[in-house]
Amino acid sequence: MSDNHLTQESASRRQFLKGSTAAMGGLMVGAWLPPFAPKSAAAAAVATQKGALGDRFAEGFGAFVRVGHDGRVAVISPKIEMGQGIHTGIAMMVAEELEVGLDQIDLQEAPPDADLYTDTLLQFQATGGSTSTRYTWEPLRRAGATARMLLVEAAASVWKVEAGQCQARDGQVLGPDGQALGYGKLVDLAATYPLPETVELKQPEAFRLIGTPAQRLDTPAKVNGEAKFTIDLDVPGMLITSARACPVYGGTVRQVSDRAARAIPGVKDVVVLENAVAVTATNTWACFEALKALDIEWDYGANRELNSARVGEKLHEASRRDGVVAAENGNIDQSLDTAATQFEAVYEQPFLSHSPLEPMTCVAHVQADGCDLWVGTQVPGLAQQTAASITGLSPEQIRIHNQWIGGAFGRRLDFDFITQAVQIASKVDYPVKLTWSREEDMTHDMYRPRYVDRMTAAIGDDGYPAGWRHRIAGGSIIARYLGGLPDNGVDFDAVEIAVDPVYHLDDLKVHYIREEPEVVPISWWRGVGVLRGIYAVECFIDELAHNAGIDPLTYRKTLLQHRPRVVAALERLAEQSNWGDPLPEGRGRGLAVGEVFGSVVATVVELSAVGDKGIRIDRLVTVVDCGLVTNPTSVKAQMEGGTLFGLSAALFNEIEIEQGQVQQENFHEYRQLRMGEAPSVEVDVMPSAEAPGGVGEAGTALIGPALVNAVHAAFGDRVRQLPLTRSGYYIV
Amino acid sequence: MQTVKVNNQTHVVDVPGDMPLLWVLRDILKLTGTKFGCGIAQCGACTVHMDGQPIRSCVLPVGDVSGREITTIEAIGEQPLAQKVQRAWLDHEVAQCGYCQSGQIMSAVALLANNNRIDDHAIDQAMAGNICRCATYTRIRSAIQDVSESVGVWQP
Ligand code: FES
Ligand code: FES
């Protein structure tokens, strides 16, 4: 993404709106968010999907900035805070242009409204896909600058001087003769002015706040127990509820005997749903105990026989077939016929659970004339829709009170648990707080799909590929999430990276073969399609380099001459990781690079082979060029956390299914890196003038292939299947 | 009826003795700073202090805590050492989603309060029971090192 967001051309695509409402008072400024110009085939496919989410999709008016009579600035955030630091980033963008301190800003969550808060990168109102900074970057600064200009104009007219003689600073306008007026005193007058014709944004050199490490606004409450997540809420008259859904997806309740459950002190009601049974009680423990005490006869349904081995076989089989062509350049079939050598490798990635530390939770209160939902959600609009369809209320009667999220990683882009909470709340006459046990959360997740990638390269005499054929077999998140595939039959998420690898190839053909294990509900998982694409491409290119006997970093650079930004990151990585320095026997380095979410990221893992299969990670270095940085602290934190999050998955994690039932139930079976196992992550943020890129998922996407490539370097063993524990590796 | 002393206050609560302390704290006493993550002593989100020692409240029956002093995240800041830990957590920007951090801080405070020599190995041991799904481990370590240094117990 090299379009410069500060150009005049892009400015002219935007319009601004201002209003002053009697109810709220003060000066309110918003920005019309731009129509998204599709830049790639994948993005074009996204655009064709907009109808699936309703006609209310439109270029949206969003990002309100309101300056009150007290001089405080309210910013309505279209993005939910789930640990990524976006609220602080948004506050910084507005504060920078409006010339106020960060401490003058109050952040509010946006209510669901597709017209106002549609993410033009994601095409609906959502927080995910590493789009938050990219989407808010220009409109929010523009809204701040517009408000500032109006306030300056107001002060100038009070003092009867030219606006150009005044200056905004720290929440005040300063006049030429030492006059000063606080914003609060100017808002009424400013609100009567028409919007300025042109709004000039600061050039990066003039930034005072953006680019400096700012303390996160949400963290003080997170160190003293005050922070409230959905699970912590208490609304008047509320009872706790928890549920047990059929262990086989798609199964239903046949019959329930609840005598023992009802005898547990504190239990109020047993609510039978189609696929689950819920209990309400005065406390969570009583709910959990009562659920265990229920005697439920299930109809396991069609998926009762499904198991992991069978899913694997079908995916491998599918990867041998041609599918829908997702990308084609040159003529790979001919190249493969005439190539000096052919090389084929098959990569496999498992089902994964999100397992955020806060399990699924939702507070719901359904009444005859309205429904309140207190829930941390990445998709408030979809939450509203599901509640409306269950209750028969109109969407306007569903009030969503969005909450901080105790980790999401894509899990709260789904709303199955919200649906369940509303179903339960519809059957009782009091508000309920749904809290899933960890076991329920892990066995009823919406899993990251399992994929098999079969890649076949045509290699020339020089050891470099003329191109490759890439077949991707797996389920389709897009089809489930949007209710169907685009007309071309391609799941544009599943083929990300594969259709546009960074490397120069004369011939490329990508097939998407949809092979759906119907039983397994699948969804977005941190890194989404990019994660799976980078894994296959970066492992494959590494294999090709080794086959050619060429240093893998040099090999990549040779194929990247047309991508100077990527080469620059690789060179920086070589420097930071001491790539060229020799290592003792039994020690190795692996690398991966990619252009992901608008950022360029390159990662090196250095590890030692301990005994037969023991891995000791000695160093983990990652270089990121994410364009202009709003808050360097948040960028580093996201890169560190995202990298280790991906490391846990690549090392240990896999969801297995036997007889239609998920086998991993809690953290002892789905283990996470712990303190003594977590290497420190050296993050190098490159200075860059490019447009801001995403960082929330970038680290996660790169660590898997870098790790596997390092295992090859240290052990001489080429692992193609994740997680590494499957091949007997363990961490020391 | 169970008697519990939490943050210097004695409460008599009408719950069965086998109810884990976690749910008494959260649902009965409305002290929601202590979190639920797994319910089987795997994640550490529910860590509180019992007589100054870190314990997993999700597996500790409330019937076993009578006569003991329970301290939760809501009151830990009354201890000067804990204030330092909380400060270090902010200075190092440890928290991401923040959900695990009550438990992390309770484990860290116990480590610092109960040891006069702390090194990386001691941190690994003391913090091994606390999962952070956002994987903020690097910053947790730096924050603990910082406090250890400032109170003179860091011995690498
Ligand atoms: S909730 Fe107690 S250790 Fe996880
Ligand atoms: S900060 Fe999110 S789980 Fe630790």
Residue B134's domain is classified under what CATH number?
1.10.150.120
Residue A113 pLDDT grade (very low, low, confident, very high; cuts 50, 70, 90): low
Q: Please tell me the total number of residues recorded for chain B in this structure.
A: 156
Beta-bridge partners for A400: A373
Instruction: Please tell me the total count of domains within chain B.
Output: 2
Angle between helices A380-391 and A416-426 in degrees, nearest 10:
30
Does a structural domain hold residue B156?
no
Task: Check B38 against A666: CB less than 8 A apart.
Answer: yes
CA distance linking residue A400 with residue A669, whole number of Å:
35
Q: Is the pLDDT of residue A146 over 90?
A: no
On whether both A40 and A72 belong to a single domain, the answer is yes
Alpha helices in chain B (DSSP H): 21-23, 73-76, 80-91, 101-114, 120-127, 137-150
Residue A554 pLDDT grade (very low, low, confident, very high; cuts 50, 70, 90): very high
Taking CB atoms and an 8 Å cut-off, how many pairs form between chains A and B?
Answer: 184
Residue A21 pLDDT grade (very low, low, confident, very high; cuts 50, 70, 90): very low
CB distance B123 to ligand 1 below 6 Å: no
Cβ burial A380-392 (10 Å sphere, 16+ → b, else e): bbbbbbbbbebbe
Q: Are A681 and A639 in contact (CB under 8 A)?
A: yes
Q: What is the pLDDT of residues A476-524, one digit of tens each?
A: 999 988 888 989 999 999 999 999 999 999 999 999 999 988 778 999 9
Selected residue of A228, A292, A664, A675 to mutate for chain B interface (largest B Cβ count, 10 A): A675
Owning domain of residue B54: 2-75
DSSP per-residue string spanning A288-316:
HHHHHH-EEEEE-GGGTT--HHHHHHHHH
**Environment class of residue B30 by beta-carbon count within 10 Å: exposed (0-12), middle (13-18) or buried (19+)?**
exposed
Q: How far is A230 from chain B (nearest CA, A)?
A: 11
CA distance linking residue A641 with residue A623, whole number of Å:
14
Does a structural domain hold residue B155?
no
Q: Are B43 and B58 in contact (CB under 8 A)?
A: no
CA distance linking residue A163 with residue A160, whole number of Å:
9
Which of these, A612, A574, A603, A606, lies nearest to A587 by C-alpha position? A606
CA distance linking residue B22 with residue B24, whole number of Å:
5
Q: How many CB atoms lie within 10 A of CB A66?
A: 24
Does a structural domain hold residue B118?
yes
Alpha helices in A224-276 (DSSP H): 259-262
Owning domain of residue A207: 3-214
Q: What is the pLDDT of residues A358-407, one digit of tens each?
A: 999 999 999 999 999 999 998 888 899 999 999 999 999 999 988 999 99
On whether both B15 and B37 belong to a single domain, the answer is yes
On whether both B52 and B80 belong to a single domain, the answer is no
Beta-bridge partners for A590: A605
Tell me the chain A residues in contact with residue B30 when contact means C-beta distances shorter than 8 Å.
Answer: 234
Does a structural domain hold residue A220?
no
On whether both A482 and A562 belong to a single domain, the answer is yes
CA distance linking residue A567 with residue A560, whole number of Å:
6
CB distance B20 to ligand 1 below 6 Å: no
User: What's the mean per-residue pLDDT of chain B?
Assistant: 97
Angle between helices B137-150 and B120-127 in degrees, nearest 10:
120
Tell me the chain A residues in contact with residue B127 when contact means C-beta distances shorter than 8 Å.
Answer: 674-676
CB distance B98 to ligand 2 below 6 Å: yes
Does a structural domain hold residue B54?
yes
CA distance linking residue A533 with residue A494, whole number of Å:
8
On whether both A464 and A508 belong to a single domain, the answer is yes
On whether both B64 and B101 belong to a single domain, the answer is no
Range from A192-206, A343-357, A526-540, B134-148 carrying the lowest mean pLDDT: A192-206
CA atoms within 13 A on the CB side of A712: 22
Task: Check B138 against A640: CB less than 8 A apart.
Answer: yes
CA distance linking residue A555 with residue A557, whole number of Å:
5
Q: Are B44 and B66 in contact (CB under 8 A)?
A: no
Which token pair is B150?
Answer: 């400032």
Q: What is the pLDDT of residues A584-609, one digit of tens each?
A: 999 999 999 999 988 999 999 999 99
On whether both A325 and A289 belong to a single domain, the answer is no
Cβ burial B121-146 (10 Å sphere, 16+ → b, else e): ebbbebbebbbbbbbbbbbbbebbbb
The dihedrals phi and psi of A49, each to the nearest 5 degrees, come to: -85, -5
pLDDT score recorded for residue A47: 28
Task: Check B127 against A675: CB less than 8 A apart.
Answer: yes
On whether both B145 and B83 belong to a single domain, the answer is yes
Residue B41's domain is classified under what CATH number?
3.10.20.30
Q: Are A201 and A97 in contact (CB under 8 A)?
A: yes
pTM over 0.80: yes
Does a structural domain hold residue A167?
yes
Residue A175's domain is classified under what CATH number?
3.30.365.10
CB distance B131 to ligand 2 below 6 Å: no
Tell me the chain B residues in contact with residue A435 when contact means C-beta distances shorter than 8 Å.
Answer: 36
CB distance B99 to ligand 2 below 6 Å: yes
On whether both A457 and A313 belong to a single domain, the answer is yes
On whether both A151 and A69 belong to a single domain, the answer is yes
DSSP type of residue A230 = G
Does a structural domain hold residue A365?
yes
On whether both B50 and B99 belong to a single domain, the answer is no
Share of chain A above pLDDT 90, in %: 67
Q: Which residues contact A599 (CB under 8 A, 6 or more apart)?
A: A624, A625, A626, A627, A693, A694, A695, A698
Which of these, A731, A727, A732, A730, lies nearest to A350 by C-alpha position? A727
CA distance linking residue A634 with residue A651, whole number of Å:
25
The strand pair at A16-19 and A27-32 is best described as: antiparallel
On whether both B117 and B146 belong to a single domain, the answer is yes
CA distance linking residue A335 with residue B87, whole number of Å:
62
Take atom 4 of ligand 2 and give the residue whose Cα is closest.
B132
Range from A122-126, A726-730, B34-38 carrying the lowest mean pLDDT: A122-126
On whether both B66 and B80 belong to a single domain, the answer is no
Q: Is the pLDDT of residue B149 over 80?
A: yes
Alpha helices in B8-95 (DSSP H): 21-23, 73-76, 80-91
**Of B41, B75, B109, which one is at a domain's C-terminal end?**
B75
Which of these, A324, A562, A335, lies nearest to A468 by C-alpha position? A335
What is the identity of the amino acid at A4? N
Does a structural domain hold residue A387?
yes
Judged by its nearest atom, the ligand closest to the C-alpha of residue B42 is 1
On whether both A279 and A320 belong to a single domain, the answer is no
Here the ipTM equals 0.98
CB distance B133 to ligand 2 below 6 Å: yes
Task: Check B43 against A357: CB less than 8 A apart.
Answer: yes
**Of B48, B75, B102, which one is at a domain's C-terminal end?**
B75
Q: What is the pLDDT of residues A668-694, one digit of tens each?
A: 999 999 999 999 999 999 998 888 877
**Residue of A453 and A58 predicted with greater confidence:** A453
CA A302 to chain centre: 32
Q: Are B50 and B62 in contact (CB under 8 A)?
A: no
CB distance B96 to ligand 2 below 6 Å: yes
Rounded average pLDDT over A329-349: 96
The dihedrals phi and psi of B154, each to the nearest 5 degrees, come to: -75, 120
pLDDT score recorded for residue A667: 98
Angle between helices A183-190 and A132-159 in degrees, nearest 10:
90
On whether both A674 and A717 belong to a single domain, the answer is yes
Which of these, A53, A697, A623, lies nearest to A384 by C-alpha position? A53
On whether both B55 and B27 belong to a single domain, the answer is yes
Rounded average pLDDT over B118-138: 97
Give contacts of A 26-85 with B, CB under 8 A. 82-85
Instruction: Give the mutation target among A229, A357, A411, A526 for probing the ligand 2 site: most ligand atoms within 8 A of CB.
Output: A357
Q: What is the pLDDT of residues B112-121, one digit of tens each?
A: 999 999 999 9
CA–CA distances in Å: residue A277 to residues A75, A241, A297: 41, 10, 11
On whether both A458 and A513 belong to a single domain, the answer is yes
**Of A435, A464, A484, which one is at a domain's C-terminal end?**
A435
The verdict on B41 touching A (C-beta cutoff 8 Å) is no
Q: How many CB atoms lie within 10 A of CB A682?
A: 17
On whether both B30 and B68 belong to a single domain, the answer is yes
On whether both B54 and B94 belong to a single domain, the answer is no
Q: What is the pLDDT of residues A152-172, one digit of tens each?
A: 999 999 999 999 999 999 999
The verdict on B13 touching A (C-beta cutoff 8 Å) is no
Q: Are A41 and A20 in contact (CB under 8 A)?
A: no
Task: Check B99 against A357: CB less than 8 A apart.
Answer: yes
Does a structural domain hold residue A223?
no
Q: Are A127 and A697 in contact (CB under 8 A)?
A: no
pLDDT score recorded for residue A110: 63
CA B140 to chain centre: 14
Give contacts of B 50-69 with A, CB under 8 A. none
**Residue of A45 and A180 predicted with greater confidence:** A180
DSSP per-residue string spanning A454-519:
EEEEEE-TTS-EEEEEEEEEE--HHHHHHTS--TT---TTTTTTTTS-SS--SEEEEEEEE---TT
On whether both A628 and A702 belong to a single domain, the answer is yes
Does a structural domain hold residue B50?
yes
Q: Please tell me the total number of residues recorded for chain A in this structure.
A: 732
| CA angle (B46 as vertex; B44, B52 as ends), nearest 5 | 90
Q: What is the number of the ligand 2 atom nearest to the C-alpha of A222?
A: 1
CA of B57 to the centre of ligand 1 (A): 7
On whether both B69 and B91 belong to a single domain, the answer is no
Residue A132 pLDDT grade (very low, low, confident, very high; cuts 50, 70, 90): low
Partner residue facing A637 (CB), from B15, B45, B96: B96
> Left, alpha or beta for B99 (phi > 0: left; psi -120 to 50: alpha)?
alpha
Question: E strand or H helix at A441, and its extent?
Answer: helix A438-443
The dihedrals phi and psi of A99, each to the nearest 5 degrees, come to: 60, 55
Q: Are A474 and A517 in contact (CB under 8 A)?
A: no
CA distance linking residue A311 with residue A317, whole number of Å:
10
Does a structural domain hold residue A675?
yes
On whether both B101 and B64 belong to a single domain, the answer is no
User: What's the mean per-residue pLDDT of chain A?
Assistant: 87
SS3 A553: helix
DSSP type of residue A167 = E
Tell me the chain A residues in contact with residue B133 when contact means C-beta distances shorter than 8 Å.
Answer: 355-357, 407, 409, 645, 672
Q: Are A561 and A514 in contact (CB under 8 A)?
A: no
CA of B56 to the centre of ligand 1 (A): 6
**In chain B, what are the helix, strand and coil shares in percent, each to the nearest 5?**
40, 15, 45
Which of these, A642, A633, A640, A623, lies nearest to A688 by C-alpha position? A623
On whether both A416 and A339 belong to a single domain, the answer is no
**Of B17, B47, B75, which one is at a domain's C-terminal end?**
B75
pLDDT score recorded for residue A17: 38
Does a structural domain hold residue A381?
yes
**Residue of A204 and B58 predicted with greater confidence:** B58
Residue B126 pLDDT grade (very low, low, confident, very high; cuts 50, 70, 90): very high
The verdict on A486 touching B (C-beta cutoff 8 Å) is no
Does a structural domain hold residue A333?
yes
Which token pair is A27?
Answer: 């000066």
On whether both A121 and A254 belong to a single domain, the answer is no
Q: What is the pLDDT of residues A240-294, one digit of tens each?
A: 999 999 999 999 999 999 999 999 999 999 999 999 999 999 999 999 999 999 9
Q: Are A400 and A230 in contact (CB under 8 A)?
A: no
Instruction: Please tell me the total count of domains within chain A.
Output: 3
